[in-house]
Amino acid sequence: MASKVVFKKTSKDKSVGVYMAKRDFVDRVDSVEPVDGVILVSPEVLQGKKVFVTLSCIFRYGRDDQDVLGIAFRREIYMNTRQVYPPLQDKEQGILTKKQAKMLRKLGDNAYPFFFEFPDNLPCSVGLQPGPRDVGKVCAVEFEVKAFSAESQDAKVRKRNTVRLAIRKVQYAPETGGPAPSVVTNHEFVMSDKPLHIEASLGKETYYHGEDINVDVNISNHSHKIVKNVIVSVEQVSNVVLYCNDSYMETVALEDSGHTVAPGEGLERTYILLPLLAHNRQKKGIALDGKLKHEDTNLASTSIIKEGVLKEVMGIMVSYKVVIKLVIGGMMGTSEVGVELPFRLMHPKPDIVKESEEEDMVFEEFKRKNNKGMMDDEEDDNVSGEGGEAE
């Protein structure tokens, strides 16, 4: 019988534990999957304290205990807090997901469900890759579920009474794409009667992570200039739009062909590019899909936002384009002529897996000490193989 992993994390004082059936939540542009889970409390340890759960979206640069240029920048884009215990309504009155119902049956009378709806104007999880020596410095949009025990919602909260679990808001490629990108242009030179003609196209608008990108290029050189080289690249553009207007453009795939096109000649070629994080791990400023501490990630997916939503609240906007650059030779040195083809780089929508009523649950516990190679951070979410089966 198949087993379903349920993520579990407990506060140091054992007063509260968080159980979630998944940590990735899909943004479909017009709607976002709700965040749900179960809180297990220990009334004996709580000693009359209440338990709250918070869903938050945070933009930050640098860890909370570090200053960047003398300033630690952290802004809460969104925060919503609910009281879970004592419950404000009877558990039987709430609408539960199938997974919540199964967890409640397994965990017993001291388990209580929680549920959050995402607003439709929040960014997706994304971060800029730090340089090899930038240990701990992060520019990222992050999401977090936090459970804590306290006398009241506004009371000071101790770390030992708190559970933090990182989650991700992700987007998949839309069901239908737009037209395949293409461009046709003529470039004229001084003292030349005829132009340099360039045609370029892609096979489709949306490519998946790990998929080859075929770039069809057709050059007809009617000018008196010589094309000394054809360089084709994939450029990732990241705009940090929340607190400034910083823009980063990084080459994530490159074909330096060395092809030449003499006057009166032509060139028709298909160049194959493969943008992968594996080829760009040393590049500072590359945008990555938000990652959970113990997991690897990939180049950031293209940002798609709902019509009417202000871009300024999106944190970090990511886009991609293929750039075809022609190096032109001349008596005064070289110059460049280029064209661009914007496209989307995303994950395919996964197949929907129907949940079985008989499916087992495995509670997989997160422990900080088992995450080798990571910083010892109170907020790190690390995984161990320890767990127990549920009916």
Give the tens place of pLDDT for each residue, 195-210.
999 999 999 999 999 9
Give the whole-angstrom CA distance, residue 368 versus residue 55.
Answer: 21
Percent of the chain whose predicted confidence (pLDDT) is above 90 = 38
The residue-averaged pLDDT of 40-63 equals 85
Of 245-254, 327-336, 370-379, the poorest mean pLDDT is in 370-379
Of 57-61, 72-76, 166-170, the poorest mean pLDDT is in 72-76
Give the whole-angstrom CA distance, residue 61 versus residue 74.
Answer: 7
Cβ atoms within 10 Å, residue 57: 23
Is 365:386 a contact under the CB 8 Å cutoff? Answer: yes
330 or 70, higher pLDDT: 330
pLDDT at 234 (0 to 100): 97
Asked if pLDDT for residue 378 goes beyond 60, the answer is no
The residue-averaged pLDDT of 61-78 equals 60
Q: Structure tokens of 390? A: 């549920």
Give the confidence band of 94 by pLDDT, cuts at 50, 70, 90.
low
Give the tens place of pLDDT for each residue, 157-194.
888 889 999 899 988 888 777 899 999 999 988 877 88
Asked if pLDDT for residue 284 goes beyond 50, the answer is yes
The residue-averaged pLDDT of 33-61 equals 89
pLDDT at 174 (0 to 100): 83
Asked if pLDDT for residue 312 goes beyond 70, the answer is no
Is 235:249 a contact under the CB 8 Å cutoff? Answer: yes
246 or 128, higher pLDDT: 128
pLDDT at 389 (0 to 100): 36
Asked if pLDDT for residue 246 goes beyond 80, the answer is no
pLDDT at 98 (0 to 100): 84
Asked if pLDDT for residue 374 goes beyond 60, the answer is no
Asked if pLDDT for residue 229 goes beyond 70, the answer is yes
**C-alpha closest to that of 17 among 366, 361, 291, 294:** 366
Please tell me the pTM assigned to this model: 0.79
pLDDT at 134 (0 to 100): 56
Asked if pLDDT for residue 360 goes beyond 70, the answer is no
Asked if pLDDT for residue 260 goes beyond 70, the answer is yes
Percent of the chain whose predicted confidence (pLDDT) is above 70 = 78
pLDDT at 131 (0 to 100): 63
Give the confidence band of 75 by pLDDT, cuts at 50, 70, 90.
confident
pLDDT at 132 (0 to 100): 58
CA-to-CA dists, residue 346 to 119, 173, 227, 287, angstroms: 22, 5, 34, 13
Q: What are phi and psi of 319, to 5 degrees?
A: -140, 165
Cβ atoms within 10 Å, residue 90: 7
Give the domains, in start order, of the chain with CATH numbers. 4-172+356-365 (2.60.40.840), 182-346 (2.60.40.640)
Give the confidence band of 72 by pLDDT, cuts at 50, 70, 90.
low
Can you say whether the dihedral through the CA atoms of 39, 45, 50, 55 is positive or negative?
A: negative
Q: Which residues of 4-21 are buried (b: 16+ CB within 10 A; e: fewer)?
A: bebbbbbbeeebbbbbbb
pLDDT at 297 (0 to 100): 83
Give the confidence band of 242 by pLDDT, cuts at 50, 70, 90.
low
What is the 3-state secondary structure of the chain? CCEEEEEEEECCCCCEEEEECCCEEEECCCCECCEEEEEEECHHHHCCCEEEEEEEEEEEECCCCCCECCECEEEEEEEEEEEEECCCCCHHHCCCCHHHHHHHHHHCCCEEEEEECCCCCCCCCEEECCCCCCCCCCEEEEEEEEEEEECCCCCCCCHHHEEEEEEEEEEECCCCCCCCCEEEEEECCCCCCCCEEEEEEECCCEEECCCCEEEEEEEEECCCCEEEEEEEEEEEEEEECCCCCEEEEEEEEEEECCCCECCCCEEEEEEEECCCHHHCCCCCCCEEECCCCCCCCCECCCCCCCCCCCHHHHCEEEEEEEEEEEEEEECCEEEEEEEEEEEEEEECCCCCCCCCCCCEEEEEEECHHHCCCCCCCCCCCCEEEEEEEEC
pLDDT at 352 (0 to 100): 58
132 or 176, higher pLDDT: 176
pLDDT at 346 (0 to 100): 92
